Structure 1
Amino acid sequence: MAQDGTGTQVVPRRAALAHVLAPGEILPRAGRALAAGLAEEAGQRRLFPWLAVAFGAGILLFFGAADRLPSPVPALAAAAAFGGAAFGLRARPVGLALALALAFLFLGFAAAVIRVATVAAPVLARTTIAPLAGFVEGIDERDEGARLIVRVHGLGTLGPAERPARVRVSFRRPEVPRPGDFVTARVRLLPPPEPARPGGYDFARDAYFRGIGAVGSVLGTVTVGPPPEPPPWDLRLAAAVDEARNALTRRIAAAQGGQAGAVAAALVTGKRGLIAPETSEVLRAAGIYHVVSISGLHMVLAAGVIFWLIRAGLALVPALALFWPIKKIAALGAMAGVTAYCAFSGWDLAAERSLVMTLVMLGAILVDRPALSLRNLALAALIALAREPEGLLGPSFQMSFGAVAGLIACARLIDGRVWRAEGAGPLGRLAAAILTAVTGTLATTLVAQIATAPFATYHFQAVQPFGLVGNALTLPLVSLVVMPAAVLGILAHPFALDRPVWWAMGLAVRGMLDIAGWIRGFDHATLTLPAFGTGALALMSAGLLLLVLPASRLRWIGLVPALAGVALAAQPARFDLYVDREGGGAALRGADGRLQVLGRPPPFVLEQWLRADGDGRSRDDPGLKAGPRCDRLGRVATSGTWDVAVVRDKRAFAQDCARAAVIVARAAAPPGCAARLVLDRAFLAAHGATALRFGPDGPDVVTARTPGETPPWRPPPAAVPKPVPEPARPAAEPEPAPEPDDGPDADP
């Protein structure tokens, strides 16, 4: 150790570093750094957002680990106990934080339990063909017909304990009933479809929370008749709103015509039935499909337009501008306006969550607080999750709140002010304003895409590399023309003066579609990536939370789980065999490493398998059926040393059981089948969709169901009977998985 000229001892840098890294110093220094960071977080009141995280962790604990529906009383009692402990530990910051976190965790668990019990309704146990009678609650009009939501009054001979409360049926006749009508029809219904693959989208769970207990189609005609009893008030209200939405949808679509009119109508009313699949694909390829879903973008723009109109109108009156709080009055008006807009757009789940977030932000103006803050976002998340805990499992909640959190955390970096034009002339100020708008839009879009990328890739297995370009070119049209025109059109609609507004709005939408079509023509406009597991998603989610919530240097800890999640997602373990939940078909990895189709899986199911495998081929690609050996009794294919047979006729069991290692069958296999693994009717009824990985020690089998676990949204396996022999395939396609940006607020 040396001394400087003042007599102060100087420790060499290498010796100092060795002292810091000494085993006895690492943990104490890390502990002191952590304590300092936590103290800084508490001093800046940044611990509150973590209560929302703890609340969400309780919800995940219920949906991920509970194998039955427990009573909410123990969870509420535990929350109360830890809440009391928090009060007693209020002088100890660490103990207070831990006690509050545990209290909110149990509150989240209890909220999920109460929600499941509140929406409980019968789920159809088996495929049923029977007369249906009920009130039409909502209609989604389409070019080829309509899709009806019917509140069931009677369904064949089923009693109240077996009869679903609501069903969704497709109707392919040009004449459709009106919302509120009492209808009778002969229908073919089946239980809401379960996941097409293990870990895939579970429509049955989403349908349960929407009150839908069966899906299907109308066989024949729909008859409108007098109801046996007056409809309840809530149904009359829902029917009136839906009828008004359909009428406005037709009016907007007719004003411009074509797909521009259909998209313009969806932007206002949320009714997307008139949008052709080709148009949807164009919007997705450009990364702007989120604009046609009523969500955060619409709520914020609508609130902003209403806020500006009210404030500007009041500012024109000097007495009001000088003596009245016109900013708060405008905020109240915007709150009323967006609430009415959400009600008119159908109270979709994504719209509700966006409404809560918007109301919290506007409410902050009323109490003179910053509108955009992580505390407000956490409060909005708590309200939204308390109302709809199941939303945490879907892409809409994850992407919308992830995007907003990222934007708030990076607000100082993305304000877009790259050139300050103080002292410049009119042209300079105009150039600065344009440059600020462009860079702000690009930065906002980039941050939102990075924050939502883990959730979008996990749920949709698709990435749009040119989404930044698509959003940068189209969002100015949406923000400056489309949404102001939508607000103006709604205001002019009661006076029948809205048609020119819808026509002008359609022109802007047409330009948006032209830009999207141009981007879709780029090579690799859409990349399909293999599905990765929940472990990688959990790591990336933890990394995002740690990067955006802390105010201190603790945020950089988030890089560790984030990078670990990315590394894990980059090496997904693909399945070698996918089996349909009904045993009608399978997809096997061939010698070229790509999937080949065996049997006849439903087209939607095959599409989900291809996505999960990172295969960008269409479900109609002829290469999918190349290779397997086929006859009229079944198909046989080989993957490595594993022969897989899909049995289509019982007569094939004798031969296939002797030569194949894996048997897939819709029927029940004979007791003496010598195959190593038999996936027949009994197995699939208990386990659902199944996927296998072939290894040297045997197949690794993963299933969508766990025997013995019966969530409320699935009928018990014992109730699953032989399939109805009428049509070999359902008359109605299962509900499609949520599409990219279908509801989430990717660009708030």
Structure 2
Amino acid sequence: MGCGIGVYFASPFEIPVIFTGLSFILLLALWIVGRGVFKIMMTATLLMISGLMLAQWRSAQVAAPVLNESTRPIALSGQIARIEPQQGTSARFTLNQLQMAGFDPHDTPQKIRVTVRTQFGEAKPGDRVSFRAILNPPPEPVIPDGFDFARDAYFKGIGAVGFAVSDVAIIGRATEFSILSKIEGLRYQLADRVRQRLGPDAGPMAAALLTGMRSPIAEKDVNAMRVAGLAHLLAISGLHIGLVTMVAFFVLRAGIALVPAIALRLDGRKLAAIGAWMIALGYFLLSGATIPTQRAFLMTSVILLALLMGRQPFTLRLVAFSAFITLLFSPEALLSPSFQMSFAAVTALVGAYEILSGKSWLKPDKSRFGRRIAFYFLGVSLTTIIAEIAIAPFAAYHFNQFTSYGLLANLVAVPLMAFVVMPAGLLALILMPLGLEGWALDLMGLGVSIILKTAHQVTGLPGAEWIIPALPTMALVFFVMAGLCFFLWQQMILRLLSLPLLLVAAALAASQRPPDLLISRDADLFGATTVDGLAVSTLSKARYSREQWTRVTGAETAFLWNKALMEREAGKGRAGRPLAQCDAMGCTMGTAPNLISIAFTPEALREDCHKAHILLAAIPVWGACPIPDIVIDRFDVWRDGAHALWIDGGNIKIRSVREARGNRPWVRNRQHKETEQNQQSDEDGSSAFESPDESFQ
């Protein structure tokens, strides 16, 4: 089913529903009459077509109006669906039930996401508010094949993003009873209470562990946790749900054993399992029900059900069931890093457990306390190593980085999380209605502070993080195939088939080459990869694009290009790429007949139109430009998005964001270049190229 969903999202166009419907009927008929191996093949193909149809249905189900162009400040009102506190006093509002000045109800987005840095008083989820805001369409990728925020927003029903330019006025308090609004309000209040108690250092992370609200965590702490290999502790997932459930189970079971009237008549183990499930459900709802939390809660539910039925709970069938249920309701989750990394780690851990469960040397000696402690840390080390190896290809693909000291950091952080932070947090939640949670929160904050300090110390070690260029998608696919081949097959001879798949994945990864030149979606930033890093045309604009380009190209840093630097680059030059020479008006690369020119000013444009083979212009190209075979100007990037160029002597490959995205429901269709030039002339260039606000990304 996952393959079918992947085919839907990888397709550059919408596959006709009639094609998938007829294919399903034909395959079903062949499955009915099939026998043996042929029937197994038809079963797999049917599941694949079912995944494709499921993704098509989901895409049609969530379709909603999307803002097509940026607005000037407009008046709007709506109901607060969610408030996400940000750093400082700002917050991010998700609004629904919208009314927007100048918009017909049929063209009004169902939801918008707005950053509020102005005053918003005592606003809470469920309230109806009004204010003025500047809205933009959900941003497209800043590089071909990069993260597509517009696609992510499409499946969340978000039709616009923006920022408030006036204070928020509360025009109506929540009157209708809504369980979701009540839960959101409770999350917001609880997170605020925790942060006030523990302060700005440990408070945001402690609140995130209890409510899933991670936005207020300081950027330096998030980066330290990521580099130290502890980012998995920030996203509520299997570790957190499992710890809460385990603590609840053993406490309830011990409590039941202390009541003879119950312990002698009922199965305390089953009663504790039911009670632990109810507590896990409450934590699941309180934490925001994200994709990793959904997977963890599903697996926890099945594990507890297996305990009630006396069955083996830890199997790969359980992992497959959880993935199936998650994709059944949210096929788009297949593309999210959280889904991929969480299921990769769990599949590897459960698969390794099945392989090693019969080994006698892995069974602890319960007669000696010291050996039990040593066995625990051995288990943490083995778990960390397996999980780190499993998620490494996904970390390289999505985040362009490897971490070196994850094992060291996890040996400190995981026991603290298991024995201090999460038990204290659960106790704080229980005591909070009585107002007695203070000491439990203080204990939780102490554990969080030690984890953060460990992360920062590990981050400071030499070689803590390795930045690598982006992996091609097919390399990740072969890595996944190799992992599944190793863990799903039972015979060792079949598991060895994963080796050639790994070799193919490694070869594809090694053959990937980052772009030589990059142009931003607003033509306000140009970049060139050098042996020293990423050289850019400006450091004052397009911050998000610059940061993403730096990581995708595998560069350590981005710096302002200049003539001296580009001349020095010639001495270190990369084979096949010509020397770039730059001044205030533009840049040139190579020599005739393969001259590439970048024009920043009309003067440079007039000159380059008579000598360049490829012309990249930060301004519109008006009239005839006779010499260049290829012209990419500001209108082209406005219509087709950011462009990337690979230069290999006389061979030049160009790829745009629009080409990479294809013609899909979440992709805005721009008009033809001539039409937009006429509009630009009519509007005197006032708004056609306004940059989307990067505070949302």
TM-score when normalising by structure 2: 0.89
Corresponding residue for residue 402 of structure 2: 463
Corresponding residue for residue 20 of structure 1: none
Over residues 323-382 of structure 1, what are the superposed CA-to-partner deviations in whole Å (9 max), with x where a residue is unaligned? Answer: 423333323223222222222222223322322232233222233321110111111111
Corresponding residue for residue 573 of structure 2: none
Q: Which runs of 5+ in 2 are unaligned?
A: 567-579
CA contact (8 A) 2:248 2:276 kept: yes
Bigger Cα displacement from structure 2, 305-314 vs 318-327: 318-327
- Return the match for 1:606 from 537, 546, 557: 546
- Return the match for 1:344 from 282, 286, 297: 286
> Alpha carbons of 1:58 and 1:707: their partners in 2 closer, same or farther (altered >3 Å)?
closer
- Return the match for 1:568 from 488, 508, 513: 508
> Alpha carbons of 1:224 and 1:548: their partners in 2 closer, same or farther (altered >3 Å)?
same
Corresponding residue for residue 586 of structure 2: 635
- Return the match for 1:550 from 478, 482, 489: 489
Corresponding residue for residue 555 of structure 2: 615
CA contact (8 A) 1:70 1:113 kept: no
> Within 5 Å, which residues of 2 pair with 1:146-545?
146-176=91-121, 177-226=123-172, 236-411=178-353, 418=361, 429-545=368-484
Q: Classify the secondary structure of the residue corresponding to 2:523.
A: coil
TM-score when normalising by structure 1: 0.83
Corresponding residue for residue 610 of structure 2: 658
> Alpha carbons of 1:160 and 1:653: their partners in 2 closer, same or farther (altered >3 Å)?
farther
TM-fit CA distance, 1:405: 0.9
Bigger Cα displacement from structure 2, 681-690 vs 397-406: 681-690
CA contact (8 A) 1:488 1:501 kept: yes
> Alpha carbons of 1:180 and 1:174: their partners in 2 closer, same or farther (altered >3 Å)?
same
Distance in structure 1 (CA, Å) of the matches to 2:239 and 2:453: 21
Letter in 2 for 1:340: G
Q: Classify the secondary structure of the residue corresponding to 2:527.
A: strand
> Within 5 Å, which residues of 2 pair with 1:704-715?
704-706=657-659, 709-715=662-668
Q: Classify the secondary structure of the residue corresponding to 2:671.
A: helix
CA contact (8 A) 1:216 1:730 kept: no
> Alpha carbons of 1:691 and 1:66: their partners in 2 closer, same or farther (altered >3 Å)?
closer
Corresponding residue for residue 692 of structure 1: 645
CA contact (8 A) 2:365 2:372 kept: no
Distance in structure 2 (CA, Å) of the matches to 1:302 and 1:707: 43
> Alpha carbons of 1:414 and 1:492: their partners in 2 closer, same or farther (altered >3 Å)?
farther
Letter in 2 for 1:196: V
Letter in 2 for 1:118: Q
Corresponding residue for residue 702 of structure 1: 655
CA contact (8 A) 1:123 1:714 kept: no
- Return the match for 1:113 from 53, 56, 68: 56
TM-fit CA distance, 1:101: 0.6
Corresponding residue for residue 134 of structure 1: 78
Q: Which runs of 5+ in 1 are unaligned?
A: 1-54, 737-748
Letter in 2 for 1:579: I
- Return the match for 1:677 from 627, 630, 635: 630
Letter in 1 for 2:589: T
Corresponding residue for residue 718 of structure 1: 671
Distance in structure 1 (CA, Å) of the matches to 2:191 and 2:502: 43
> Alpha carbons of 1:208 and 1:421: their partners in 2 closer, same or farther (altered >3 Å)?
closer
CA contact (8 A) 1:282 1:520 kept: yes
> Alpha carbons of 1:612 and 1:731: their partners in 2 closer, same or farther (altered >3 Å)?
closer
> Within 5 Å, which residues of 2 pair with 1:9-28?
none
Q: Classify the secondary structure of the residue corresponding to 1:515.
A: helix
Distance in structure 2 (CA, Å) of the matches to 1:139 and 1:226: 16
> Alpha carbons of 1:271 and 1:421: their partners in 2 closer, same or farther (altered >3 Å)?
closer
TM-fit CA distance, 1:672: 1.1
Across the two proteins, how many residue pairs are aligned to each other?
667
CA-based RMSD: 2.8
Q: Classify the secondary structure of the residue corresponding to 1:257.
A: helix
Bigger Cα displacement from structure 2, 653-662 vs 467-476: 653-662
Letter in 1 for 2:390: A
CA contact (8 A) 2:377 2:411 kept: yes
Corresponding residue for residue 575 of structure 2: none
CA contact (8 A) 2:145 2:661 kept: no
Q: Classify the secondary structure of the residue corresponding to 1:128.
A: coil
Distance in structure 2 (CA, Å) of the matches to 1:140 and 1:286: 26
| 1:70 is the counterpart of 2:16 | yes
> Alpha carbons of 1:623 and 1:315: their partners in 2 closer, same or farther (altered >3 Å)?
farther
> Alpha carbons of 1:663 and 1:505: their partners in 2 closer, same or farther (altered >3 Å)?
same
Letter in 1 for 2:276: A
CA contact (8 A) 2:12 2:660 kept: no
Q: Classify the secondary structure of the residue corresponding to 2:134.
A: strand
TM-fit CA distance, 1:609: 0.8
Over residues 162-215 of structure 1, what are the superposed CA-to-partner deviations in whole Å (9 max), with x where a residue is unaligned? Answer: 221111111112444322222222211111111111111111111111111111
> Within 5 Å, which residues of 2 pair with 1:76-115?
78-79=23-24, 81-83=26-28, 85-89=30-34, 92-115=35-58
Identity fraction in percent: 32
Distance in structure 1 (CA, Å) of the matches to 2:448 and 2:595: 53
CA contact (8 A) 2:249 2:275 kept: yes
TM-fit CA distance, 1:643: 5.3
| 1:124 is the counterpart of 2:67 | yes
CA contact (8 A) 2:127 2:170 kept: yes
Distance in structure 1 (CA, Å) of the matches to 2:41 and 2:309: 30
Q: Classify the secondary structure of the residue corresponding to 2:153.
A: helix
TM-fit CA distance, 1:726: 6.1
